[in-house]
Amino acid sequence: MSGLARELWRLPAVSLAPSAIEILTAELRQRLRLVTGAHAGVRFASSMAAEDMVLVDAIATSGVPIEIFTIDTGRLHEETVRMVEVTERHYGILIGRAAAPEQEVRAFVENHGLNGFYESEDAKKACCHARKVVPLNLALAGAGAWITGQRREQAVTRTELGLAEHDEARGIAKYNPLFDWSQDAVWSYLQHRNVPLHPLHRQGYPSIGCEPCTRAIRADEDLRAGRWWWLRQESKECGLHLNAAQ
């Protein structure tokens, strides 16, 4: 194994006992039931990465009425496309695909070029808006609430995250059922429950987005360091989780 390979981020060691995981599982399912009890038409946008797979497993195995979909940006890793299909087969469910509208993508390419997001922060935001935010907005039209896999530990922009918030940009409720979960909790859950794992996690990717905007990271880097690595550290959001005032 090369020196570089030894330095890459690896799947975290897990330490939670099965009994602790069962408690977490029961609490998570209760949170999901509270959300669906309070709102009709709850939806979940899944990236198929670790935290989101915890939620997919909890939704699929508990029977809560939450619609799962993924955003097809047109620039996903092939491994992500296959992961959706693997997950559908594993749980016997259908996962919706919210595709980026062709006219939005075309407008971005005409204005910035196919890979213009590398040139500036504004161009990156424009690409994310066309390929992620617009299809998310369309997929959430008519929803009563949506849930995410965000955790406080993930990024400096998420340290104040709570279970419930109001999505001002879309005018609906938003829930983060894993907001207080530790990294150990996430990976212990995945291992204990034999949840399908995105193959890029085994290649040094703790966080997974579009193919040109995501890279493997070293073991000593921040977990979000592989996302838009050419931008400032505080710019590690794509716009899906920003309210209108932000």
Q: Which residues are catalytic?
A: 238
Q: What's the chain look like in SS3?
A: CCHHHHHECCCCCCCCCHHHHHHHHHHHHHHHHHHHHHCCCEEEECCCCHHHHHHHHHHHHHCCCEEEEEEECCCECHHHHHHHHHHHHHHCCCCEEEECCHHHHHHHHHHHCCCHHHCCHHHHHHHHHHHHHHHHHHHCCCCCEEECCCCHHHCHHHCCCCCEEEECCCCEEEECCCCCCCHHHHHHHHHHCCCCCCHHHHHCCCCCCEHHHECCCECCCCCCCCECCCCCHHHCCCCCCCCCCC
